[in-house]
Structure 1
Amino acid sequence: MSNRYLLPLALLLLSGCQSPMTQLQQLSSQNAHQVSIQPTRTFPLAMSVPSVKPGSARLRIYLEGDGHAWATPSQPSLDPSPQNLLMARLAVTDPQPSLYLARPCQFVSAPACNPQVWTDQRFSQAVLDSLDQALNEVRRQYGNRDFELIGYSGGAALALLLAAQRNDIAVVQTLAGNLSPRQWAQSLDLTPLSGSLEPLDRAERLRHVAQRHFIGFEDRTVPPILYQHYRRTLGPADCMEVIRLPGVDHANGWTEAWAQWRYKPLRCAPQ
């Protein structure tokens, strides 16, 4: 084999042996971020935060998806940490003041971690409370006025649930978002998520949340039709936009699409 292929191959093999936490630390350090562990009452949460503390009135929080929840269609994973650091990468390369927030049991474990947390109970009250406490601490440390939440996949459901109970969420944006876990399971003929919350049960609050949803036309994991159910069930909304992206599926095309849209505010959202 030519020598010019040896180094890329070695780096690829090395990255495959690195732990998810090591990969997150390296990605962060390469982009003027650092990994911190935020304690909450139930779960410690991994975050990637700017090395220089931003003084912005609004902070973007990139909320991770479901990660590697299942090893096989019937066997839960032993480690739900994401294998693709898409959301972390979007966060650390965003020129705007941005933090990355992982989900419970991703990157860092705790006594309360068990497969139920990242399968049936991935949208449970305990999970929501943990994220809520993390946002409280971020606001205490950074002194920001409010948040913009960007949720990917299952992180979208949690972003909506947070927005429905907090008064400091100015905007929610979702990428390939699971906007209704109940309808998602029904649409894909999956077992309902026992112990999980449903954003549409809080529709009255969500109608007043500024939100924009990005949908990949080729997404088979979170089908585009799910947005139609969400929009219809939610009813009249104060501020909502939808962006449909041809050629984008659940995992691919988001880096390029978000690079075009991350600077564009919602026309109807508070600034």
Structure 2
Amino acid sequence: MSQQLAGPHPWAGVGRTLGALLVSALVGACQSPFQALQELAEQHGRQVQIVPGQAFPLVLLPPSEQRPTERLRVYLEGDGHAWATASQPSLDPSPRNLLVARLAINDPAPNAYLARPCQFVSAAGCTAALWTDRRFSQEVVTSLSQALDRLKQRVGNRQFELVGYSGGAALAVLLAAQRDDVTQIQTLAGNLDPGLWVQLKGLSPLNGSLDPMVYRQRLQALPQRHLLGGRDQVISAEISASFRGTQASSRCNQRVIIAAASHEQGWETAWALWQGQAIGPCP
């Protein structure tokens, strides 16, 4: 990581301004999702920061060490607490399970954790559509892409590897399709075919969202690995099979079933085994 991080920078002092930015809180909860994330980060020597200057401020855990890296691994959060009930959108989409943040914190490779718009921190533009129907919209993709640009300027990396969990997998694909510096993607319990997912679940279409399936042929040569839970009742194995297709190279485009994993359980053990394994060689 470049030495720019050592001194003051636009994200410094974020702790003094959190009161102004965190305008939403959980009612009746002993600890808010942000407080839980902050506590987890501090326990492991990481710092919660907020990427400014966006339509939707994004919560970030930047790399903990200041050392140069050619490729930075970025963990993309899932859909979080998008729905309060089957028919009522949540007022706060922040994840209650900090699985993705824990995966990043426990990963020895240089990495950052990036939350989705309106998770942990709210803004005037935050509406329920952004974490329901429009969860994979261009405005969401653009917001995350701008955060990657800022992260790249700070860290000095030339490439990104994106690790997307659940709905974060769809965004990893969309970002890879729209950028030229994403050189590898990995997904865990990934919703790679949202159209098929809503069909299988009997849900309404995600109007306003982009479809990762549109880009699957374009990304066939991109090194990628998709890990699925054998006990996952939320994202079935056929979702990744649909995205991967029948012509994909088994070396460059891998699909792995983790028999003991459900949608939220078993991933820390599984990822510890897979996070350092190379993908490829690719054409």
Normalization by structure 2: what TM-score? 0.86
Residue identity opposite 1:246 in structure 2? A
1:209 equivalent to 2:209? Answer no
Aligned to 2:5: none
Distance 1:171 1:228 in 2: 18
The 1:165/1:122 distance shift into structure 2, 3 A limit, reads: same
1:190 equivalent to 2:203? Answer yes
Aligned to 1:17: 30
Distance 2:267 2:70 in 1: 27
1:162 equivalent to 2:175? Answer yes
Residues 118 and 126 in structure 2, CA contact (< 8 A), matched pair in contact too: yes
Aligned to 2:84: 71
Pick one of 42, 48, 53 that aligns with 2:61. Answer: 48
Q: Within 5 A, what are the aligned runs for 1:1-271?
A: 17-232=30-245, 235-236=247-248, 239-268=252-281
How many Å apart are 1:67 and its aligned residue?
0.2
The number of aligned residues is: 254
Distance 1:232 1:267 in 2: 17
Residue identity opposite 1:32 in structure 2? G
Q: Which runs of 4+ in 1 moved over 6 A?
A: none
Distance 1:115 1:66 in 2: 12
Residues 170 and 269 in structure 1, CA contact (< 8 A), matched pair in contact too: no
Cα root mean square deviation, aligned: 1.6
Residues 244 and 253 in structure 2, CA contact (< 8 A), matched pair in contact too: no
Residues 221 and 282 in structure 2, CA contact (< 8 A), matched pair in contact too: no
User: Which consecutive residues of structure 2, in runs of 5 or more, have no partner in the other structure?
Assistant: 1-28
Residue identity opposite 1:190 in structure 2? L
Residues 133 and 208 in structure 2, CA contact (< 8 A), matched pair in contact too: yes
Residues 216 and 244 in structure 2, CA contact (< 8 A), matched pair in contact too: no
How many Å apart are 1:133 and its aligned residue?
0.3
Distance 1:78 1:51 in 2: 31
User: Which consecutive residues of structure 1, in runs of 5 or more, have no partner in the other structure?
Assistant: 1-15
Distance 1:247 1:51 in 2: 31
Which structure's residues are more often strand, by fraction?
Answer: 1
Query: Identity over the aligned pairs, expressed in percent?
Result: 52
Residue identity opposite 2:180 in structure 1? N
Aligned to 2:12: none
Residue identity opposite 2:73 in structure 1? R
How many Å apart are 1:42 and its aligned residue?
1.4
* More deviation, 33-42/243-252: 33-42
- Matched position secondary structure for 2:84: strand
- Matched position secondary structure for 1:164: helix
1:174-214 Cα shifts (integer Å, max 9, x gaps):
00000011111112111010100001112332222211000
